[in-house]
Amino acid sequence: MARYLFQRIGSSAVTIAIMAILVFFASRVLPGDPALVRAGSNATPELIAQVRTQFGLDLPLHQQFLQYLYGLIQGDFGTSIRTGKSVTTELMHRLPATLELSLVGFLIASLIGISMGIIAATNPNRWPDTLVRALTAVGGSIPSFWLALLAIFFLVYNLGVFPSPIGRLPLGMSPPPRVTGFYTLDGLLAGEVSVTLAALGQLALPALILGVLGSISVTRITRASTIEALASGHARAARGFNLKSPSIFLQEGLRNALPTVITAMGLVAGYLIAGNIIIEKIFSWPGIGQYLATAISQSDLDVVQGFVIIVGIGYVTINLIVDLLYSVADPRIELGGSKS
Amino acid sequence: MNNLLNVRDLRHTYVKGRIQTHAVRGVSFEVARGETIALVGESGCGKSSTARLIAGLETATSGSVSVAGHDIADIATDKRLRRLVQMVFQHSDQALDRSWNVERIVAEPLLRMDGLRLSAARTRTVAALNSVGLGDDFLSRRPRELSGGQSQRVAIARALISQPELVVLDEPTASLDQSVRTRVLDLLKRIQEERNVGYVFISHDLASVRRIADRVAVMYLGRIVEIGRTAEIFANPRHPYTQGLLRSEPPIDPAVKWEITPMKGETPSASAIPDGCAFRGRCPIADEACATVDPLLLPVGSTRQLACIHRSVDGPI
Amino acid sequence: MSSIHLATRAASRKRFRLTVVRQNSALITGIVLLFALVLLGAFGPLFLPSPNVTAPGQSLMAPDSEHLFGTDRYGRDVLARSVAAIRLDLMLAVGVAIMAMALGSILGAVAGYIGGWVDDVVMRITDALLAFPGFVLALMIVAFLGHEIIFVAIGVTIGSTPHFVRLARARALSERELDYIPASKLAGANRGRVIFGHILPNAISAPLIQTTVTAGWAILDIAGLSFLGIGIQPPTAEWGTMIAEGYSDILTGKWWPALFPGLLMLLAVLSFQLIGDGLSRRNSL
Amino acid sequence: MSVLDVDRLQVEVFETGIALLRDITLSIKPGSIVGLVGESGSGKSMFSLALMGLLPSGVRVTSGKARVAGKSILKGLTNQYVNSSREDIALISQNPRAALNPTMRINKQVIRVLRQRCNMTFKEARSEVHELLARVGIPDVGRVANSYPHQLSGGMCQRVVIGMALSTRAPLLIADEPTTGLDVTIQAQILMLLRKLVGESDEKSVMMVTHDLAVVSSMCDQLIVLYGGQVMEVGPTREVFANPRHPYTKFLLESLESYADGSADSTPSVSENPIDFGLSGCRFSNRCPFSTPVCQTTPPPAIADNTRIAYCHNLESI
């Protein structure tokens, strides 16, 4: 087990390294002058030259690369040209907001996805299944930002069910003392229940939207893999032994679909970390996504680099967890290797 | 150097992670022109690995294979020699590329080895199809329009179109219905008589071996345990494994009461081969000596070889 | 007795046909929808005002008989702009999906068939790219390259390619094990012949189906980039850009400049999804 | 009373009306082993699925009756499968590894069957597991009980499945190609085991579904030959082997014998035409060397002779 874990962590590290190299080359080697992009298209030659020196872009490529790697190893993603602050500090400061939103979104996505998938799989090709399939087809086609706008228009401005999309707390309320960075938890820790409730209220709509969008693929995969498992040889054999239907659905169906469902949930978790760039922007949610959205429109490239690497690390970590859970869920996976 | 095929001390070991699988552990035999040798055994005995090594689809860990005086490594890499060895595969439903039509499938060796165009190869393609009993109305058919027997005939036509001297037949009838098997075997036999081609026939099905083979090599865990003329082996099997194998085949006459003591146990994994004689765990006559001595394949009589320390003396048992 | 029997038989057979139609209905609906959108995109502009003519006096007019979808804050006809965007978005999305399919399938087939270090390198890079949702990848590339249509296309293509590599590689790995591959090696086919003559033609059906789904995703990604202001720039009529422009209006109760382009986009993506679903069902039957 | 009684059972593809099984009539006596033989496409597996109520979607029983242990397994005009009928049947399926749940240890799977089919409590079932596994000749009971299916050989898995099937006390066992894919020495072990266990009880009957005539000849008392979804010939194995009446049975046995002893194929021109499910007459008529026009158009009558039945228009003339 420990050996397998080390192997997987090692290979995750390699993936992150390759990713970092790709990011570097994307920013320096692809056509397009990084100094020009950073200085803006209307910049004077002097300004461009100044940007070049400031970011070390006049150094030979291999030196730039070494500098970049050296910075990365120390956790230094560079400096934001817009604010002049350390990218690492800025991102870390905003990370909890994103994680809080993603986590709640993930829970909603899993809950909706797995239950809808089960409902569909218990009634294949009958109306509940048809309905679920139609819903996932439409749901998978909805642009997230459009859905968010409509939700705000109807649910916030017309019906007033949810509070205004103005970030993590209502106007005039100050955040609780920072412990975890999750306002809902920090509010409780500080004994300020009103803050927690207010934070939950602000969280509800964006998390719901993320959850609904994320639930689509969980629904699809839960449904498909359960139906597939119920059509397999061992499910037929179980029916041949006249075992009870609920038992077959659980043991032959869901239990054997579990590894695939875990994979789908991992994908959704990754999608949520990145997918809330747009949602954060729309809901003024002060997370890393919104930070990126602002930075990107102003060509603040070190922020983009830093964001990409943090998301990458998050994603690789999720994959690692998924692989571990998968190997627990499927006894055919020998730890340390392939399917036998 | 009269033999068409010479196989000398062939060994093949796969390594995957920390696990070594000894698929072939020192196999030697030869085949004359116009002769059929059958390699028989159960799954994991190394017969299919041996077939792939002989056809040059894989490279042996050690040992040599030569066909008509050429080393298999040269045959595998040289377009002019490639035609010498061809192969017919096991699964009739996957032996043909389903996106090609029969004409291109059969003509493929001519297109690749001789650089012919499809139209220039037409006459020979039709001739090859005719020789396996299919008319030229098959030229434009797709594999999914063929029955199992017809697919296998097309595969045979493809193997023969380049005029090979040795054909490796890897369980060519295993995926076919009983009533079609006989016909395919008879076809193979007729072709052999016409062209004097040598066959290496891989099978687990003893009945088909009896029908087509001149000699039989019985394999167990990567070794030949007994080799000899087909009639001799079937009439008087001498290795305990051969005896157990023949006994396990159900008789086709219902009047014969089939009452046997089946061979005990199962074949061990090729990555954990027992010391001494590899068969001793399942052998009814094994003793302490078998745990220490790895029996060699030694001649008993002029046409037969046997790998068993208890049966190494010539004479009836 | 027998007439009753026949009647029930006919009835249940009819029921069965209905389920068959229902199973194929996804495909049919998708094709009809896409066809309608293409027609609208091709011929609609002939009957509509120019999408970029501004009319300051007619800004933010609610939908009426003259402007079916209303006008935006510059007085431009929302219907004309939404329809003009069909051509751009669909062509871009389909082009991106086809490029990604071609690139990914070839890479995947080569890696899967050859194996060894080639496979290691290709899959390592693919895994690293797959560490991001395609959207983030596209976003990064557009951020680094510049905010132009061609870079948006490149970004979304690269973001979509890794899926195809995975898909084609998996198929190549299973094709490689089938008997016809060693058979063609024995026939003297070299690696290139085997890959392009045998592996790819047989491995391509799954990537082809995936292409339609990818085209749908590409529409979402392209519009998402534009919504963030780094994709296609105003005043070009594009769904994401239009929704971004309508963003502030919706907060003041003027919902039409954002609603209609989103609705058309939804239909476009849905049509690709339905076609993809229908095709993969047919393929698996 | 027969364990299984099937009367003119018809199974069709709904969409097209193609009959995959046509007018199947047969019965199985208690305590016998009956072989259902056919080549690929004969409908032998479809028949066992129909008896189990496990037909694939789009395929239905459209007419006919079937009784297991005297109880009808189909009800009503629509021939719906009566779900409780499976209590009287146990299935030993092809590919034993795939027949076991890959995510459950063997002991849990056995316990599950014992609890749900034999009304045992968990404790009773747990104490029964080792005995059950030992009865089917598993040597290393403790290890096997604790293993997942993928850790066991195909032969071991098949023993487990046989053990579970016998524990259900169902009077009819359907063994669908129980040894296909197993090595010949393992096949011998399994067949001997099956015969021994069935021989121990007088009530249990086995329907062996197989393509392998040698297995049938050495295992079965009775023989049912299927071709193209139609019964060709029924009778005691010895008599059918000694003197086949139907042209198809003749052809099958002659090709088997000539195959085994190496003699030339003496059967007259039986073509390799594929099965034509659209034929309204005898399904074998497009291959049969004795085919007459009536064979093409009219299903063959059942010609009974003592213990045997053959379905052919031209029995007298052959």
Residue by residue, pLDDT tens for chain B (317 residues) are 478 999 999 999 988 878 889 999 999 999 999 999 999 999 889 999 999 999 999 999 999 999 999 999 999 988 889 999 999 999 888 989 999 999 999 999 999 998 889 999 999 999 999 999 999 899 999 998 888 889 999 999 999 999 999 999 999 988 888 878 888 998 999 999 999 999 999 998 888 898 899 999 999 999 999 999 999 999 999 999 999 999 998 888 888 888 888 888 888 888 888 889 999 999 998 888 899 988 989 988 888 999 998 875 544 44
Residue A79 lies in a domain: no
Share of chain C above pLDDT 70, in %: 91
Homologous superfamily of B3-77+198-306: P-loop containing nucleotide triphosphate hydrolases (3.40.50.300)
| Ramachandran class of A181: left when φ > 0, alpha when ψ lies in -120 to 50, beta otherwise | left
Residue D79 lies in a domain: yes
> What would the pLDDT profile of A51-86 be if each residue is shown by its tens digit?
777 767 777 778 888 888 888 888 888 888 777 788
Please tell me the total count of domains within chain D: 1
CATH of the domain at A218: 1.10.3720.10
| Chains touching D (3+ CB pairs < 8 Å) | A, B, C
| Chains touching A (3+ CB pairs < 8 Å) | C, D
Cα separation of the two ends of chain C: 35
**A64 and A198 fall within a common domain:** no
- CA distance to A1, B169, B287, per residue, from B57 (Å): 37, 14, 40
**A140 and A65 fall within a common domain:** no
Please tell me the total count of domains within chain A: 2
- CA distance to A309, A321, B160, C83, per residue, from A13 (Å): 12, 14, 53, 47
Residue D113 lies in a domain: no
Contacting residues of D for A238, CB less than 8 Å apart: 101
Residue identified by tokens 């005990």 is: B264
Residue D46 lies in a domain: yes
Measured distance CA(D257)–CA(D214) in Å, rounded: 10
Contacting residues of B for C193, CB less than 8 Å apart: 112
**A102 and A37 fall within a common domain:** no
Q: Provide CB contacts within 8 A for A88, sequence distance 6+.
A: A75, A76, A77, A306
Average pLDDT over residues A167-172: 87
Domain boundary (A17, A50, A73) is at A73
3-state secondary structure A119-163: HHHHCCCCHHHHHHHHHHHHHCCCCHHHHHHHHHHHHHHHCCCCC
Which of A141, A274, A297 lies closest to C135 in CB terms? A274
**A149 and A239 fall within a common domain:** yes
Contacting residues of C for B98, CB less than 8 Å apart: 202
Q: Provide CB contacts within 8 A for C117, sequence distance 6+.
A: none
**A66 and A115 fall within a common domain:** no
> What would the pLDDT profile of C214-235 be if each residue is shown by its tens digit?
999 999 999 999 998 888 888 8
> What would the pLDDT profile of C33-88 be if each residue is shown by its tens digit?
999 999 998 888 888 877 777 777 777 777 887 777 888 788 788 888 989 899 99
**A21 and A99 fall within a common domain:** no
Which of C4, C16, C20 lies closest to D77 in CB terms? C4
D14 touches chain C (CB under 8 A): yes
Q: Is the separation of the CB atoms in B197 and B205 below 8 Å?
A: no
Which of C180, C188, C201 lies closest to B95 in CB terms? C180
C233 touches chain D (CB under 8 A): no
Share of chain A above pLDDT 70, in %: 92
Residue-range domain boundaries for chain B? 3-77+198-306
Instruction: Measure B57 CA to nearest chain D CA, in Å.
Output: 25
Q: Provide CB contacts within 8 A for C8, sequence distance 6+.
A: D77, D78
**D residues 61-120 near C, CB within 8 Å?**
62-63, 77-78
| Closest to C237 (Cα-Cα) out of C154, C153, C149 | C149
**A132 and A192 fall within a common domain:** yes
Residue D279 lies in a domain: yes
Beta carbons of B248 and D211 less than 8 Å apart: no
What is this structure's pTM?
0.85
Beta carbons of A315 and C131 less than 8 Å apart: yes
Q: Given a cut of 60, is residue D91 above it in pLDDT?
A: yes
**A100 and A58 fall within a common domain:** no
Question: What ipTM does the predicted assembly reach?
Answer: 0.83
Residue D138 lies in a domain: no
Residue D280 lies in a domain: yes
Quickly state the pLDDT bin for D278 (edges 50, 70, 90).
confident
Residue A247 lies in a domain: yes
Beta carbons of C9 and D15 less than 8 Å apart: no
Q: Given a cut of 70, is residue D213 above it in pLDDT?
A: yes
What DSSP designation does C71 have?
A: B
**C residues 3-42 near D, CB within 8 Å?**
4-5, 8-9, 12-13, 16-17, 20
CATH of the domain at D233: 3.40.50.300
Residue D130 lies in a domain: no
What's the domain range around A174? 87-337
Residue A235 lies in a domain: yes
Which of A240, A247, A330 lies closest to D103 in CB terms? A330
Residue A81 lies in a domain: no
- Determine the pLDDT at residue A41: 61
How do beta strands D59-68 and D222-227 pair?
unpaired
Share of chain C above pLDDT 90, in %: 45
Instruction: Measure B156 CA to nearest chain D CA, in Å.
Output: 17
- CB pairs below 8 Å between B and D: how many? 108
Q: Is the separation of the CB atoms in D133 and D160 below 8 Å?
A: yes
Instruction: Measure D268 CA to nearest chain B CA, in Å.
Output: 12
β partners of residue D224: D36, D234
How do beta strands B305-306 and B85-88 pair?
unpaired
**A49 and A97 fall within a common domain:** no
D262 touches chain C (CB under 8 A): no
Beta carbons of D52 and A244 less than 8 Å apart: no
Beta carbons of C265 and A143 less than 8 Å apart: yes
Q: Given a cut of 80, is residue D289 above it in pLDDT?
A: yes
What's the domain range around D311? 4-103+148-317
